[in-house]
Amino acid sequence: MEMEMSALAMSSTLILALAMTLIFLLKAKSSSAIKWPPGPKTLPIIGNLHQLGGDELHIVLAKLARVHGAIMTIWMAKKPVIVVSDVNSVWEVLVSKSSDYAARDAAEISKIVSASSHSINTSDSGPYWQTLRRGLTHGPLGPLNISAQIPIQQRDMQRVIREMQQDAAANGGIIKPLDHLKRSSTRLVSRLIFGDTFDNDPYNDSMHEVVQDLNRFGGIALLEQAFSFAKHLPSYKRGVKEFHIHKRKIDDLVRPVVASANPPSNSYLGFLQSQNYSEEIIIACIFELYLLAMDSSASTATWALAFMIRDQQVQEKLYQDIKRVIGDGVDLVKAEDLSKMHYLQAVVKETMRMKPIAPLAIPHKTAIDTTVMGTKVPKGTCVMVNLYALHHDESVWAKPYTFMPERFLQGEDGKSVTEQAFLPFGAGMRICGGMEVGKLQFSLALANLVNAFKWTSAAEGKLPDMSDELQFITVMKTPLEARIIPRNP
């Protein structure tokens, strides 16, 4: 009897193995029957993964696109990913056929902190997503609320400058500007979530630390999407464990603040509560706003400072542009002054061109069978938009790897700049909802920091390292340290 049971078990196992093999082969055959866009030659099992190392992913993909075309297929093991890299293909995906490409290809691990893909950036387009986005962009990120934030943010910039002066005085004139700018961004995001009067430094400092820690595990999601068997790897299991630990930290941090808050209707929390969402969804949506907004403006402003440390002529031109508008002896640049500072706007745009904060945007997924530039793309296909490649396209930009703010000034020589080739916030249905507040925060910070200080290298003769590191956003691989010299001591 035992032998019969053993034989039966072995037969069942063999049948199961054969069935799984057949399913795998059928899927592989199905994928191979589709005429995918061209791409680099693959290897068995791993696809193109062996070609994606070295530089950061957006840079590697840009180099591959120059060889294989602006629409190419990259195989993440057995998973095809279409990458678009030029003006026409990017515009078709993001704008002309925006709804076709508006679904999301969220990694399972991201569901831990997104209430199972119920946040704005992880949910597919549809009525739920539309309600969430409308609530965010018409309320806390709406024009009236942003206008109300301006005087508060201007006072906050004065605080940032004071704290930088204190930091420099204690450290031989050297500071790490990113830390100061992130804390300012965290305070702004908290006011957008809980209301203008929210002022809780211990909470903001704790949230800053949680976001910093979680950013280190951004690559785990890519690992999962690349390998279907990644869930069995020790590194992935450690990542999942860390995500759960941070999920508990987020809950413990946000829950009591939400419970005790009396948010105004134009705050994000006010909107979320008005929809009667579950506590899990409310906390996930709140944390997502910190994750996406806390680092973006701060990191972009830090990139701009690094560019100007490397090119003191650009810094001096910007300083003179600021003085032209506000005059000498004025300590605070106000938001109303920014639009008059044409060179400032050029520096802002050139920084976002050179270092787009999300160089591969957030991966899209086709909601229906569709096409891109005439090539069929099946429903459910992951599509990546390489904004870095778009912003460095030599057919559009003169000297694309050179920092030249002048390219954005009218009347300057050079190739024409079209809005379709400059998409630092994406475009179409999935365009960044925080675009306006992000531009305001970046411009206001940069103008005030250059007005207050001259920025130089921390060590004489050693220029900032401009290498990228792709986490959830693009950050400096070597965090910027700078020596600041007060303009008006």
Q: How far is CA 49 from CA 43, 54, 57, 222, 343, in A?
A: 9, 11, 11, 11, 42
pLDDT value at residue 225: 62
Residues 68/399, Cβ–Cβ less than 8 Å: no
Residues 98/430, Cβ–Cβ less than 8 Å: yes
Ordered domains of the chain (ranges, CATH): 49-486 (1.10.630.10)
pLDDT value at residue 26: 44
CA angle (129 as vertex; 125, 133 as ends), nearest 5: 120
User: What residue numbers does the annotated binding site cover?
Assistant: 432
User: What residue numbers does the annotated binding site for heme cover?
Assistant: 432
Phi-psi region of 10 (alpha: psi -120 to 50; beta: other; left: phi over 0): alpha
Convert the pLDDT of each residue in 198-212 to its tens digit. 999 999 999 999 998
pLDDT value at residue 301: 98
pTM of the model: 0.90
pLDDT value at residue 226: 59
Convert the pLDDT of each residue in 426-437 to its tens digit. 999 999 999 999
Helix (H, G, I), strand (E, B) or coil at 461: coil
pLDDT value at residue 417: 57
Q: How many CB atoms lie within 10 A of CB 169?
A: 10
pLDDT value at residue 223: 66
Which ranges of the chain have pLDDT less than 50?
A: 1-30, 413-415
Distance CA 321, CA 16 (A): 72
Which own/partner contact pairs does 393-396 have at CB distance under 8 Å and 24+ positions apart?
393/85, 393/86, 393/87, 393/421, 395/86, 396/87, 396/421
Of the candidates 305, 428, 297, 308, the one whose C-alpha atom is nearest the C-alpha of residue 361 is 428
Distance CA 360, CA 50 (A): 19
Convert the pLDDT of each residue in 393-441 to its tens digit. 999 999 999 999 999 997 554 445 578 999 999 999 999 999 999 999 9
